[in-house]
A and B are shown apart, each in its own frame.
Chain A
């Protein structure tokens, strides 16, 4: 390269030159559009929308199944408790799905860029957090869930018929949750920083970290309100 001083006006010049060339290159894409050959736009959030609808449906089924168990076995404390816990879980599934759909419905593609990007990043963070909560809670919920399912489908009370299975299942769940928590705490030591990162990635698919980084990037972009002496552009 030559030893040529350069400033933003040179970049403008380069930009205008590129502009002309790109128009020629992109003429074909636009012709496709005019010919009606452009692919049909689908909302990028459509898979999320249907995923949440499915979650709500599952929540309703869980509530229905668990409610029928704890109401019809009111006299048995263990079934009442198991049914009630699963019932609450079903309600939380419905609430989480509904809130995510609320986030999705508020997104307006034509809103200012920063507002949309913030909404998308917050949606992503919420989605990842609820996903993580719903997933981790299974360590404790799977046994009550099995109890409800066994009563509902086969009329079998696991707690009475196979108390060892119940105890073992509960122990596995509690141990699994404690080990997960302990590993997470242990990995937060500075020398294991890489492990903490790997564990977080494993639990949240790195999505939460990325969503938080994007939110922070947007916050910094919005926060720069210091007055700066500048000449206005010509337009």
Chain B
């Protein structure tokens, strides 16, 4: 087995174990299935490209989150896609959500409403928080202090309370 095939197999196994990260990031930054698939492919390709530089002494998930979020944020910031993301909320655009019951539907709508209103960096913070990462992990992935993470999450909670605390 060649070194390249070995690296590819090793990489595939690691990505498979953490593949949800790719889908979660794609879901946070894209509304339509086509865009999500496009971004997921970009992330996977970028991960493979960066893999030779991966330091095996560090957690793979942290490395993967950093790359995935960077690809996604740059993707959103490219002007054309930014335009597409600023269209008003529309159920048809959010084809990820086809929840089986009304309460779940309401929660998903509220979730999209919150995500949609945030800037790209705050979206990354919310994604990591919803995924129940510790403040230390969030700080390591984003490159800000734990105190800053705590402050921002506190603000996000307040904002969510105000914005969707009581959906009517």
Interface residues of A in 109-167 (CB under 8 A from B): 109-117, 120
Closest to A40 in B: B45
Residues of A within 8 A of B98 (CB): 21
Interface residues of A in 65-119 (CB under 8 A from B): 108-117
Q: Would you list 8 pairs from A and B whose C-beta atoms are within 8 A, ordered by A residue?
A: A6-B106, A6-B164, A17-B99, A17-B104, A109-B67, A110-B67, A225-B148, A228-B155
Given contacts A110-B67, A112-B143, 16 further A-B pairs with CB under 8 A are A6-B106, A15-B130, A18-B96, A22-B96, A26-B19, A38-B41, A39-B41, A43-B49, A113-B73, A117-B120, A225-B147, A227-B151, A228-B147, A228-B155, A233-B133, A235-B134
Q: Does B91 contact A (CB under 8 A)?
A: no
* Of A2, A19, A26, the contact of B37 (CB 8 Å cutoff): A26
Residues of A within 8 A of B74 (CB): 44, 117, 120
Residues of A within 8 A of B110 (CB): 6, 10-11, 14
Question: A29 near B41 (CB under 8 angstroms)?
Answer: yes
Q: Does A202 contact B (CB under 8 A)?
A: no
- Which residues in A have some Cβ–Cβ distance to B below 8 Å? 1-8, 10-15, 17-19, 21-23, 25-26, 28-30, 32-34, 36, 38-41, 43-44, 108-117, 120, 210, 214, 217-218, 221-222, 224-230, 232-235
How many interface residues does B have (CB within 8 Å)?
85
Residues of A within 8 A of B103 (CB): 2, 4
* Of A15, A26, A29, A221, the contact of B111 (CB 8 Å cutoff): A15
Interface residues of B in 138-168 (CB under 8 A from A): 140-145, 147-148, 150-157, 160-161, 164-168
Bound Cα distance from A122 to B30, whole angstroms = 25
Question: A3 near B166 (CB under 8 angstroms)?
Answer: yes
Residues of B within 8 A of A221 (CB): 119, 121-122, 144, 152
